[in-house]
Amino acid sequence: MKLDLHELIASPGGSVGFSFELDPEGLDFEGVLAYRSPITVKGSVENHAGLLTLRALIEADLLCQCARCLKEFPMRLRKEAAAYLTEELEDEDNEDYYLLEDGRADLTEIARDALILNFEPRLLCRPDCKGLCSKCGKDLNEGPCGCVEDLDPRMAALRQLLEKE
């Protein structure tokens, strides 16, 4: 999606809205099993005294897998994107600035970058997910499994003695 900003560049104080769907091709995030809806990108570019500022909201319904308990769960993706658009790039390393090509902004690139930069490295079904027992594999969110952690060999020996009685 390329957005033509010729008119906006010539009208300080103005703004241009946009709305499009992002191709999920190549957006393979750890823990995301499937996109259950199109990835929608909605926002606007405003001309603040010659500075072109883009703001957008990226949304989609995802099917995810919890990094701890491996359960599948639905998630509503909501990420904001913000960028400055410029016709001349002075500082190549500034990630917030995007170069216009022939007065047009590459919204696809900006939205993809925003997702890649802001995506959670580990998706959890809930913040306090207890995960699976490393011994028996039980989902500890459903309750304790009865396994005893033998972290300390002295405790393990003591437990063996107690269990014999």
Nearer to Zn ion, 9 or 133 (CB): 133
Burial (CB count <10 Å: 0-12, 13-18, 19+), residue 131? middle
- Judged by DSSP in three states, 141 sits in helix
Q: How many residues bind Zn ion (CB under 5 A)?
A: 11
Q: What span, in angstroms and rounded, lies between the C-alpha atoms of 139 and 81?
A: 36
Cα–Cα nearest to 130, from 143, 146, 114, 149: 143
- Judged by DSSP in three states, 109 sits in helix
| Smallest gap from residue 116 Cβ to Zn ion (A) | 24
| Smallest gap from residue 22 Cβ to Zn ion (A) | 27
Residue recorded with tokens 């490393």: 134
Amino acid at 59: E
Nearer to Zn ion, 91 or 128 (CB): 128
**115-144 residues near Zn ion, rule: CB under 5 A:** 125, 129, 133, 135-136, 138
Q: From the list 39, 54, 56, 68, which residue makes contact with Zn ion (rule: CB under 5 A)?
A: 68
Tokens of 117: 């930069």
Residue recorded with tokens 């696809």: 108
Tokens of 165: 């009685």
**89-118 residues near Zn ion, rule: CB under 5 A:** none
In eight-state DSSP terms, residue 160 is: H
Nearer to Zn ion, 50 or 121 (CB): 121
Nearer to Zn ion, 13 or 127 (CB): 127
Nearer to Zn ion, 99 or 136 (CB): 136
| Smallest gap from residue 148 Cβ to Zn ion (A) | 9
Q: From the list 147, 148, 156, 158, which residue makes contact with Zn ion (rule: CB under 5 A)?
A: 147
Interface residues toward Zn ion, by CB under 5 A: 66, 68-69, 125, 129, 133, 135-136, 138, 145, 147
